[in-house]
């Protein structure tokens, strides 16, 4: 009887210890994520706001004025909007490394022709770009979700009598990434002499969110013609929240189509793997004929066309 009590006590002790460790780790993670990267860099005793601004610009591939550098502009824009902090040149070096690895893999795998080696290289080059696109989409979504709350903070700060620059700095101090660091860069650029229109345009180029363009246009019109800024920001916050509701309804209505696209894309691969497991020699006649690359290319092209059509059917302008 005592042995069972001992086992039970050991189990309970283990569960309690696991719960304590998990809570400690989660609490630390929440504290770290609640501080944006700019504020973390500013917490260094030797870091000045100007040094932090220059470091953030270098990490995002920006020049001294906060604009994207002209060389390889498309890749630099994608890199800046993805939020990566590794720098543009290390990113390009990683892509070249993937290309070299793809060529070597294709060569050792028996790809004899130059076209097959190029196809293997292209497949591995596409991996970093696809990763950047996914990171960019997720970051823009997080930023857009945070934007109405940031506008509400701006409105409350303006109603309290603070200038607009102080309202921007308040968001930079209080909100996590990505909007905290982006507003911090905006605040620093305004502090170091940029006008509001150019600073907001730099922010639009860095983030890529469509809703941020609404803010830039609204503030540009306000600077030229005047008006009640708190009312403008309040209405803009309500519009952005309404757009979220519309997006959610669209995703709910198009869920069946998106699931069909995923199923139709995965189903042929699953069927192929199942046939290979049940009858390993079923496709030998195609492999021996030498036309397997042509068949595979045709299948990939047809799947891409089908997915494109389904994507157009389930995505709407809003």
Of 158, 161, 167, whose CA–CA distance to 186 is shortest? 167
d(CA 286, CA 279): 14
Tokens encoding 253: 């209505």
- 19-33, 61-75, 173-187, 206-220: the lowest-pLDDT one: 19-33
Helices and strands per DSSP (H, E), number in the chain: 14, 0
Tokens encoding 105: 């893999």
Cβ atoms of residues 298 and 245 within 8 Å: no
The whole-number pLDDT of residue 179 equals 94
Give tens-digit pLDDT for 38-84.
Answer: 887 887 757 788 888 888 888 887 887 788 776 677 778 888 898 88
Strand pairing partners for 68? Answer: 62
Tokens encoding 114: 């130059």
Give tens-digit pLDDT for 121-154.
Answer: 666 677 778 888 889 999 999 999 999 999 999 9
- How far, in Å, are 69, 100, 104, 114, 126 from residue 96 at the CA level? 20, 6, 12, 18, 11
Query: For residue 174, what are the contacts with CB-CB under 8 A and spacing of at least 6?
Result: 153, 180
Tokens encoding 286: 């195609």
Q: How sure is the predictor about 170, in pLDDT bands with cuts at 50, 70 and 90?
A: very high
The whole-number pLDDT of residue 129 equals 82
The fraction of the chain above a pLDDT of 70, given in percent, is 78
Residues in the chain: 318
The whole-number pLDDT of residue 45 equals 55
Composition of the chain by helix, strand, coil, percent to 5? 80, 0, 20
Q: How sure is the predictor about 252, in pLDDT bands with cuts at 50, 70 and 90?
A: confident
pLDDT at 217 over 80: yes
CB atoms < 10 A from the CB of 90, how many? 10
Residue 24, φ and ψ in degrees, nearest 5: -65, -45
The whole-number pLDDT of residue 124 equals 66
pLDDT at 31 over 60: no
The structure's pTM equals: 0.76
Query: For residue 194, what are the contacts with CB-CB under 8 A and spacing of at least 6?
Result: 65, 66, 202
């Amino acid at each position: 009887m005592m042995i069972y009590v001992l086992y039970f006590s050991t189990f309970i002790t283990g569960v309690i210890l696991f719960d304590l460790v998990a809570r400690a780790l989660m609490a630390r993670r929440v504290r770290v994520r609640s501080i944006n990267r700019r504020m973390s860099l500013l917490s260094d005793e030797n870091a000045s706001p100007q040094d932090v601004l220059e470091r953030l610009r270098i990490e995002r591939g920006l020049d001294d004025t906060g604009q994207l550098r002209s060389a390889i502009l498309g890749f630099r824009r994608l890199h800046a909007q993805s939020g990566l902090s590794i720098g543009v040149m290390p990113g390009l070096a990683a892509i070249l490394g993937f290309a070299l690895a793809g060529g070597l893999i294709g060569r050792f795998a028996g790809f004899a022709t130059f076209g097959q080696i190029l196809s293997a290289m292209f497949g591995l080059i596409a991996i970093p770009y696809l990763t950047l696109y996914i990171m960019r989409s997720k970051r823009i979504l997080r930023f857009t979700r945070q934007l109405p709350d940031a506008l509400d903070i701006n409105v409350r700060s303006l109603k309290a009598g603070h200038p607009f620059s102080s309202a921007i700095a308040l968001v930079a101090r209080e909100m996590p990434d990505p909007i905290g660091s982006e507003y911090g860069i905006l605040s620093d650029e305004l502090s170091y002499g940029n006008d509001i229109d150019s600073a907001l345009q730099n922010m639009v180029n860095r983030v890529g969110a469509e809703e941020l363009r609404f803010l830039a246009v609204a503030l540009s019109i306000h600077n030229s013609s005047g008006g009640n800024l708190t009312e403008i920001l309040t209405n803009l916050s309500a519009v952005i929240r309404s757009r979220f509701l519309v997006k959610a309804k669209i995703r709910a209505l198009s869920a069946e189509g998106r699931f069909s696209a995923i199923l139709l894309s995965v189903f042929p691969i699953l069927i192929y793997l199942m046939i290979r497991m049940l009858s390993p020699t079923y496709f030998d006649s195609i492999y021996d004929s030498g036309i397997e690359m042509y068949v595979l290319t045709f299948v990939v092209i047809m799947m891409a066309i089908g997915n494109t059509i389904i994507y157009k059917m389930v995505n709407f302008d809003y």
